[in-house]
């Protein structure tokens, strides 16, 4: 019998798979439904949801053209999810398209509450953000808030990790929602940033702290620790820290010629699959959903089935709670 990867990767396999009804994809891809924790939704309905591409790394014109040519509406993403047996997921605010205006993901999450839960992006410098988080958790049933970006020029630490925003962290801790972090770093500062994350995870134990793209380890082919920092190992000891394994990270690992299956197996041993979640980054990472799902599942294919199910559904479903878990 042909192995799944060999079959799908061949020209004959690709033709055969493309001819299958959508219901057949699920059997090929997995024996259980998946939970996609990182899908970007956006629409070409710019009259109701105007584009703000001011922070897009592609530039305003390019991101606008991409959105208008290929919007990622619920209809598009749900259709793609069905190809990969994805049952539900997270609508992660696409900052490149909407910055702090979360209207689109809030509206579609209310329209499809059993399929998606929103994780919003808000301005960490805005004094009203803590109150906004509380309101949106109660009224809009968000399950988390996301912060990303660089520290101020010349500084090591990001503003969203500083004591200046303690009220936001306190509010998230009281509500029992997730805080998703994707801090970019300059120079050799990632270790210090990870250490600060550990301090905050201890200080706010009712926050599910999620590290986007597993906080970007820097693996080198053949390196036994796969580029994880010593501070990653310290974070692994904390019960409320979670690691998002994404197809963007898969791209980067492949770029460094790192073998995916050993990487996933090491991560599972280090963190536990009850602490790892998967996100496609669909809408940002290029490619068909069916291929993104296949790559992710294949990379974890040597794990026991129960661990795969934890990594691809159970853990994500447990930690993303619309409206929060409430006070501990």
Handedness of CA 27, 30, 34, 37 (dihedral sign): negative
Q: Phi then psi for 292, rounded to 5 degrees?
A: -65, -45
Whole-number pLDDT of residue 276: 98
For the stretch 148-195, pLDDT in tens is 999 998 898 999 999 999 999 999 999 999 999 999 998 889 999 999
Residue pair 42/95 in contact (Cβ under 8 Å)? The answer is no
Q: What is the pTM of this model?
A: 0.90
Whether residue 10 is predicted with pLDDT greater than 50 in this model: the reply is no
For the stretch 303-317, pLDDT in tens is 999 999 999 999 999
Arithmetic mean of pLDDT, 48-57: 90
Residues in the chain: 328
Whole-number pLDDT of residue 53: 87
Residue pair 235/198 in contact (Cβ under 8 Å)? The answer is yes
Q: What mean pLDDT is reported for the chain? A: 91
Report how far residue 166's alpha carbon sits from residue 200's, in angstroms, rounded to the nearest whole number: 10
Tokens at 27, concatenated: 């059997």
Whole-number pLDDT of residue 25: 47
Q: What angle do CA 53, 59, 62 make, to 5 degrees?
A: 90
Number of H helices, E strands in the chain: 16, 8
Whole-number pLDDT of residue 16: 46
Whether residue 20 is predicted with pLDDT greater than 60 in this model: the reply is no
| Burial category of 7 from C-beta neighbours within 10 Å (exposed 0-12, middle 13-18, buried 19 and up) | middle
The dotted CATH code for 22-319 is 3.20.20.140
- Count Cβ atoms below 10 Å from residue 22 Cβ, excluding itself: 12
Tokens at 31, concatenated: 């024996």
Report how far residue 25's alpha carbon sits from residue 127's, in angstroms, rounded to the nearest whole number: 48
Handedness of CA 149, 229, 167, 101 (dihedral sign): positive
Arithmetic mean of pLDDT, 276-292: 96
Whole-number pLDDT of residue 57: 79
For the stretch 101-140, pLDDT in tens is 999 999 999 999 999 999 999 999 999 999 999 999 999 9
């Amino acid at each position: 019998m042909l192995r799944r990867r060999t079959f799908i990767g061949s020209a004959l396999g690709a033709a055969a798979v493309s001819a299958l009804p959508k219901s057949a994809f699920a059997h090929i891809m997995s024996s259980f439904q998946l939970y996609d924790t990182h899908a970007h939704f956006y629409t070409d309905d710019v009259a109701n949801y105007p584009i703000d591409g001011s922070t897009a790394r592609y530039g305003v014109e390019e991101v606008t053209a991409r959105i208008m040519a290929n919007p990622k509406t619920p209809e598009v993403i749900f259709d793609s999810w069905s190809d990969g047996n994805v049952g539900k997921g997270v609508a992660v605010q696409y900052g490149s398209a909407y910055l702090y205006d979360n209207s689109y993901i809030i509206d579609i999450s209310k329209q499809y509450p059993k399929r998606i839960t929103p994780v919003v992006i808000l301005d960490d410098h805005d004094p009203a953000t803590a109150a906004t988080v509380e309101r949106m958790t109660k009224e809009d049933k968000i399950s988390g808030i996301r912060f990303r970006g660089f520290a101020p020029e010349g500084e090591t630490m990001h503003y969203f990790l500083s004591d200046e925003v303690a009220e936001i962290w306190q509010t998230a801790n009281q509500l029992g929602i997730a805080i998703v972090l994707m801090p970019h770093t300059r120079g050799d500062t990632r270790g210090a940033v990870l250490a600060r994350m550990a301090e905050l995870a201890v200080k706010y134990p009712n926050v599910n702290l999620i590290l986007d793209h597993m906080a970007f380890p820097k693996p080198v082919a053949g390196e036994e620790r796969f580029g994880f920092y010593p501070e990653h190992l310290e974070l692994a000891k904390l019960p409320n820290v979670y690691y998002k394994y994404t197809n963007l990270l898969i791209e980067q690992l492949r770029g460094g010629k790192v073998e995916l299956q050993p990487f996933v197996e090491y991560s599972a041993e280090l963190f536990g699959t009850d602490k790892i979640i998967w996100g496609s980054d669909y809408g940002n990472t290029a490619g068909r959903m069916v291929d993104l799902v296949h790559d992710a599942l294949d990379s974890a294919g040597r794990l026991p089935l129960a661990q795969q199910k934890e990594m691809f559904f159970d853990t994500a479903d447990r930690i993303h709670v619309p409206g929060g878990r409430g006070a501990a």
